[in-house]
Chains A and B, each alone.
Chain A
Amino acid sequence: MLKSHELLEFIKAIGASLEVFEHAGHPMRIEFIVEKTLEGLGPPGPMKASHAGETRVSRPSFPDSDPIRRAGLVVSRPMSEPVVDEKAQKEAFDRYVVPEIEVLYRVARSITRNPTDAEDLVQDTMLRAYRAILRFDGRHPRAWLLTIMRNAQINRVRRKRPELLRDPDAAMERLADEDSADLGPEAQVIERGYDAAVEKAVDALPEKFRTVIELVDIQGLSYAEAAEIIGVPTGTVMSRLHRARTRVRKHLESSGAYVNGRPV
């Protein structure tokens, strides 16, 4: 049996390079490469050393004429999970995801129209983002997160409405159209003045127009970010937004709202 410090002495003595792969602060795998022939090591055979609990040190038990392979030791801990750099994963999560939590929640409120569903959706999005964060290239984190949120929402719709599996985009639109028929108490608040008239006009819009207005004009997303969450091209967002505003304007005209003292 070799103890840890004996193992390190041995590695140093033979001039090997050492690499330690850590998992949550504990060594998962230790590899070292023997670069020169060892003398007096004796015939190959089993050799074990206790190290870091489960770590086993063993020599290849096969006879080998190659002196490097013959001298090579493999120190390993059986691994069932891939090695993940969790420190980098946490740092990336804190850097790219945490600052966007409020925006994610606001957008989730817009697309779910329900506070509880919105919270669940953001949690789902964060979990997915955490798992994928090491594959993210760091560019446009908000757009990346909105894409994840959109996919998460599609899955939620699928779970609720399995018959809509074949066309998730249409599923989202249809579901949203159904939701729009059931406006909550917030939408039923009657206010006076121009702002109230605008709000009423927006509430009267078909869902696909209302969504772009909420995402771009109210939540302040760019065309491209809104396109990510809705799952349509940027040009479609732009055209829907313009048509939505035109409808709002016409609604204001018919309701007699005024701008700068003149009827619009």
Chain B
Amino acid sequence: MTVRRSWGRRQKAEVNCREVGKVLQSYLDNDVEEDFASKIASHLEACKDCGLEFETYRQIKTSLAGKMPEVDPAALARLRMFGQEISGDSATGN
């Protein structure tokens, strides 16, 4: 699902704010083709508004990445034991 720049604009050196706005979140997720991504990166450095917009989404994503809930170790141990029982019982013919 990697985002590519539309064919007709490939030769164009720079990207504009509208183009960047469309793919900003895909860029955030590293889901943009490499050559297109480098043009977006240049634009974000030069354009204050787009840069701030990107920073907003980046901070949201960073905040969410830190919210991975703790997994109950006892539950995980029970599940691993269950997995061992499934394959272990079969291997011994029980």
Contact = CB atoms under 8 A, between A and B. Distances in A.
B1 A234 contact: yes
B11 to A, nearest CB: 27
Which of B26, B68, B87 lies at the interface centre, i.e. has the most chain A CB atoms within 10 A of its CB?
B87
B87 A217 contact: no
A71 interface: no
Interface size class of B (residues with CB under 8 A): 35 or more
Interface residues of A, number: 53
B56 A101 contact: no
Given A235-B1, A241-B25, A262-B52, A199 B67 contact: yes
Interface stretch (A91-99, A149-157, A169-177): A91-99
A224 B29 CA distance: 13
Interface in A224-251: 224, 234-235, 238, 241-242, 245, 248-249
30 contacts: A24-B93, A26-B93, A89-B87, A93-B83, A98-B80, A102-B71, A105-B75, A105-B76, A105-B79, A106-B71, A122-B79, A126-B82, A130-B86, A195-B63, A195-B66, A217-B64, A218-B68, A220-B68, A223-B1, A224-B1, A238-B26, A242-B26, A245-B57, A249-B56, A249-B57, A252-B56, A259-B52, A259-B55, A259-B59, A262-B52
